Structure 1
Amino acid sequence: MDQIKIEKLFNLEGVTREPKFKNGWYQKDILSVNQFDKAGLSYIFTRAEEMAEMVEKVGACDLLKGYVQACVFYEPSTRTSSSFIGAMERLGGSTIPITQGIQYSSVSKGESLVDTMLTLEKYADIIVLRHPEIGSAAQAAKYASVPIINAGDGAGEHPTQALLDLYTIRKEFGRIDGLKVAMLGDLRNGRTVHSLTKLLENYDVSLRYVSPDTLRLPLNLMNELINKGIDVRETDRMEDIIKDVDVLYVTRIQKERFTDMALYEEVKNYFEITEEVLAHAKKDMIVMHPLPRVGEIHYKVDRDPRAAYFRQVRNGMFVRMALLASVLGEA
C-alpha cells in the first residue's frame, strides 16, 4: 500500500514537525505513570490499536520519517530497547543505539548523565533512557531540550512497561474494571509492579500481592491503595489466590537488586508457575510476565493459551509506537 493510502486510512496526512496536541493530550516527556489519567490512557490505547492495525495491514509507514531517537541504556535490555527501535523503524524514523552497556560509551571515561543528554540532544529528536538510579529520567528531562522517555530508573518506575501491561489486560479481557489482578514475586524491587499498581489505581479492581516477607510491596504503595479504598490483600502463599484471579502477573526475583546473596539464594525459587499450578486456575485467566524469566515460569506453560507474556511483548511495540508519535506531536 502506498503512502497516500496509508495517510488516508490512518488520518496521517499533513504531518509536520510541529506538535498538534490532538484531543487535548500531550506530554513532552514520559517520566512516570502519574502523568496518566483514564482519559490519557484511553488516548494512548486507541493510538496503539491504530498502530497494531497499521502494522498488520501494511507493516510500516512514514509517520516519523526524518525523526531520530537515541536509545541510551545504562542497564541491560532486550525487549525494551528492541521494541523502541522496532517502533521507530515501523514509523519510518531511525535510531542511535547505545544499548550494549556504558562500557562502550564516554560514560566509561567519567562523563555525567547530564553531559551525555546534552550531547545526544544535538543528534536526536527524542531520547529513551534506562538508568540504574531512581529519578535519573527526571534529572535528564530537567536539562535536555528534547523529550525524554523513562525506560526504567532503577527500582523506581518503568512507565512504558506498565502502559503495555495495562493495554494487554484490556485487550485480553475487553475491560479492566471488575478484574482481580495478582502480582507475584519481587514486589519490593519490581519497578514494573510499582508502575502497574499506580495505573490500576484508576480502575475498579481487586489487587492481590504475593511475595516472600522480605520482598513485600513497599509500605507507602500499600498505604496508598488502602487510603484509596481499593480491595487489596497480601500473602506469601500462591495457593491463596490462584483459584480466583483473572490476571497472574509474575515477576522474577531480581538478583541484581540484592546486596546480600545469601538472602537471594533463600528466595530465588520461592514461586514456580507450572502446569500443575495452572490446573487450579480459571480457564479464562491469563499469565503475564515483564520478562526475562529465570525459572519462575516453566517452559511447558508456554503451550497453555492462558500464557499471555509473548502477546504482551508484541503489544509493547504498538504502545511504544503510540507514545513516540504522541510525544513528537504526530498522533
Structure 2
Amino acid sequence: MELYHVLGAKQFNRKMLDEIFDITRSMEDVVEAGGSDRYANKVLTTLFFEPSTRTRLSFESAMSRLGGKVIGTENAAQFSSTIKGETLEDTIRVVSAYSDVIVIRHTDIGAAERAAAVATVPIINAGDGAGEHPSQALLDLYTIQKEIGRLDDLNIVMIGDLANGRTVHSLCYLLTNYHNIHISFTAPENVQIPSTVKKYLDEKGITYVEEYDLAKVAANADVLYQTRIQKERFMSLDEYEKARGQYIIDRDILGFMKQDSIILHPLPRAGEIAVEVDQDPRAAYFRQAQNGLYIRMALIQKCFNR
C-alpha cells in the first residue's frame, strides 16, 4: 500500500490499517534496539500554528529515531512569515524546497488539504482546527488493539467536547472499517457530536446513541475515550463554563466499569480524569501517548517508501 499525504481518517481502509499496524509493531523493536539510521539523508519539517506537546515532540522523536533531521517551529503563527501576511500556500511552496516531509498543525479546518494542494513533498495533518487529527486516531486504534486484542465487536464511549474534538471525529471515521462497533456519545448539550459525523456513521452502518448518563454507558464499555473541554474553541466564557466539569472519570466511575475495559485520553487533560485513576491498570492513556511515537515512525516510513 502506498501512502503519500496523511490528511484524514477517511483515506484509510482496513487493509491499509493492518499494514500500518504491522509496521508500527516493528517500530517498537527499532526503538528498543536504539534507533536506526535509515533516513539519515531526510529532513522533516514541523509547522505548528497551534500549541502542541505530544504530537510535535513525538513526530520529532520519530524522525530522530529513524536517523533523520528535524527543522521547524512550534509557533508558526508568530515565528514564520505568516505574521508578515504570507499565505499558507506560499509558506508550503517554500518549505517544500527545504524538506522531505512536512507535518502541519493549523487553526483552520482544511488547512492540511490546502497545503497538500501545493506541496511537492508529503504533508501529514497533525490537527486542523476542530476538523481532524488522523495520526492521533491511528495511535488510538493501535492502542485499543494492543490493550484489548481486537478491533471488531467493540462498545466505545466517547466523552467530553465532541463538537470540537478532532480526535473523536477521526477515530469515528476509522472505526467504520470494523465490524459490530457500537458508540455511545456522552457530552454536554452545547458540545454534542456533529451531525456530519453521525451522517457518516449512518452511511457506514455503525450504531450509536447519545446518552447523558456516563455511569450507565460505562458499565458495558470496552473503551472509555475521554476528551478535554477545549476552552480555546469556545466563542464565550459562558459557553465554556456550561460544558466544563460535567463528566469526570473518577473512582466512582471505575466502580461501574468492566475489569477488562480501558480508559483512553488524547491528552492534555484538564481535570476530566481524576489523578486517582492513574494507578488503575485500566488507565491506558500514558501508554497510548507512548504508542504515538511508534505510529508516527510508521507513517514517516510509509511516506518515504512510496
Q: 2:207 aligns with which of 222, 227, 231?
A: 231
Letter in 1 for 2:170: S
**What residue in structure 2 maps to residue 92 of structure 1?**
67
**What residue in structure 1 maps to residue 150 of structure 2?**
175
Identity of aligned residues (%): 48
**What residue in structure 1 maps to residue 10 of structure 2?**
34
**What residue in structure 2 maps to residue 191 of structure 1?**
166
**What residue in structure 1 maps to residue 295 of structure 2?**
319
Moved over 6 A (4+): none
How many Å separate the matches in 2 of 1:229 and 1:137? Answer: 28
Q: 1:257 aligns with which of 230, 233, 238?
A: 233
How many Å separate the matches in 2 of 1:291 and 1:101? Answer: 22
- For the 8 Å contact 1:186–1:254, the answer to whether it is kept is yes
Q: 1:291 aligns with which of 238, 244, 267?
A: 267
Letter in 2 for 1:189: N
Instruction: Give the drift of 1:244.
Output: 0.8
Unaligned 5+ runs, structure 1: 1-24
Q: 1:47 aligns with which of 23, 43, 48?
A: 23
How many Å separate the matches in 2 of 1:328 and 1:190? Answer: 29
- For the 8 Å contact 2:104–2:127, the answer to whether it is kept is yes
Unaligned 5+ runs, structure 2: none
Pick the structure with greater CA Rg.
1
Letter in 1 for 2:245: N
How many Å separate the matches in 2 of 1:253 and 1:101? Answer: 24
SS of residue matched to 2:71: strand
Q: Residues 256-308 of structure 1: CA distance to partner in whole angstroms, max 9, x if unpaired? A: 11002101111111111111210111111100000000000011111111100
Letter in 2 for 1:84: F
How many Å separate the matches in 2 of 1:253 and 1:292? Answer: 10
**What residue in structure 1 maps to residue 256 of structure 2?**
280
TM-score (norm 1): 0.90
**What residue in structure 1 maps to residue 89 of structure 2?**
114
Q: Residues 70-97 of structure 1: CA distance to partner in whole angstroms, max 9, x if unpaired? A: 0000000000000000000000001003
Letter in 2 for 1:261: L
Q: 2:48 aligns with which of 60, 73, 81?
A: 73
**What residue in structure 2 maps to residue 7 of structure 1?**
none
1:166 to 2:141 alignment: yes
- For the 8 Å contact 1:76–1:101, the answer to whether it is kept is no
- For the 8 Å contact 2:163–2:192, the answer to whether it is kept is yes
Does 305-314 or 101-110 show the bigger shift?
Answer: 101-110
**What residue in structure 2 maps to residue 12 of structure 1?**
none
Q: Residues 3-23 of structure 1: CA distance to partner in whole angstroms, max 9, x if unpaired? A: xxxxxxxxxxxxxxxxxxxxx
Does 217-226 or 141-150 show the bigger shift?
Answer: 217-226
Q: Residues 165-191 of structure 1: CA distance to partner in whole angstroms, max 9, x if unpaired? A: 000000111111011111000111110
Instruction: Give the drift of 1:101.
Output: 4.4
SS of residue matched to 1:133: coil
Instruction: Give the drift of 1:210.
Output: 0.5
How many Å separate the matches in 1 of 2:101 and 2:91? Answer: 13
SS of residue matched to 1:318: helix
SS of residue matched to 2:78: helix
Does 174-183 or 228-237 show the bigger shift?
Answer: 228-237
SS of residue matched to 2:221: coil
1:216 to 2:192 alignment: yes
Q: Residues 12-47 of structure 1: CA distance to partner in whole angstroms, max 9, x if unpaired? A: xxxxxxxxxxxxx11210001111000000000000
**What residue in structure 2 maps to residue 144 of structure 1?**
119
**What residue in structure 2 maps to residue 59 of structure 1?**
34
- For the 8 Å contact 1:185–1:271, the answer to whether it is kept is yes
- For the 8 Å contact 2:76–2:82, the answer to whether it is kept is no
Instruction: Give the drift of 1:246.
Output: 0.6
**What residue in structure 2 maps to residue 4 of structure 1?**
none
Q: 2:108 aligns with which of 114, 127, 133?
A: 133
**What residue in structure 2 maps to residue 82 of structure 1?**
57
Matched positions, count: 305
- For the 8 Å contact 1:290–1:309, the answer to whether it is kept is yes
Does 38-47 or 221-230 show the bigger shift?
Answer: 221-230
